[in-house]
Every structure is written in C-alpha cells, then in structure tokens.
C-alpha cells in the first residue's frame, strides 16, 4: 500500500512502541483516527477494493467503534489493517 512518508513513519513508530509495551506521546488518538480514515479511503478507492475479499466494508462499519477505543487498541487495529494489505515487506 502506498502511503505518504509521514504515515509510514507513524506506523513504524506504532509497531515499535507496541513491541516495547508502551506508547510515546507522538502517538495520539487524533492521528490514529486520521490514519484510519486514510486507510478506509485506500480500501474504498484503490485496487484494494477489487480484491476477492475486500475488507473496505468491514473497515467502514468499524469506524465509529474505532473512535471509541483506547489508544493502545486503536494502534493494534491500525497494525492489523495494514497487515491485511501488505505484500511482502512493502507498505
């Protein structure tokens, strides 16, 4: 999945912090919601919508619930969404 560099760095930070067991202050609820929206858009309007089992509907249905999650749970969801779209080591 092609994402702007700032979001690739943000996702890398999330993954690193989750491995460490704590999140630093650069990870925020607002940024997580913004990234979720971007990922939802990518799944709705790019080649990912043409996959045999597209997850765009699931992502869209879960958006309101995502907004109510705590920050750690949000980060885990974001990593899961990205892992669904990864091909090899590219993001």
Q: What is the pLDDT of residue 87?
A: 54
Q: What is the pLDDT of residue 88?
A: 45
Examine the pLDDT at 17 and tell me if it is beyond 60.
Answer: yes
Q: What is the 3-state secondary structure (H, E, C) of the chain?
A: CCCCHHHHHHHHHHHHHHHHCCCCCCCCHHHHHHHHHHHHHHHHHCHHHHCCCCCHHHHHHCHHHHHHCCHHHHHHHHHHHHHHHCECCEC
Q: What is the tens place of the pLDDT at every residue in 30-68?
A: 999 999 999 888 766 665 555 555 566 677 788 899 999
In this prediction the pTM is 0.78
Residues of the chain above pLDDT 70, percent: 76
């Amino acid at each position: 999945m092609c994402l702007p560099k700032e979001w690739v760095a943000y996702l890398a930070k999330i993954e690193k912090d989750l491995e460490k067991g704590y999140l630093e202050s650069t990870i925020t609820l607002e940024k997580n919601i913004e990234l979720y929206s971007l990922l939802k858009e990518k799944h709705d309007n790019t080649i990912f919508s043409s996959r045999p089992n597209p997850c765009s509907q699931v992502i869209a249905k879960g958006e309101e619930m995502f907004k109510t999650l705590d920050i750690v749970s949000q980060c885990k969801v974001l990593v899961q969404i990205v892992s669904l779209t990864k091909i090899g080591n590219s993001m």
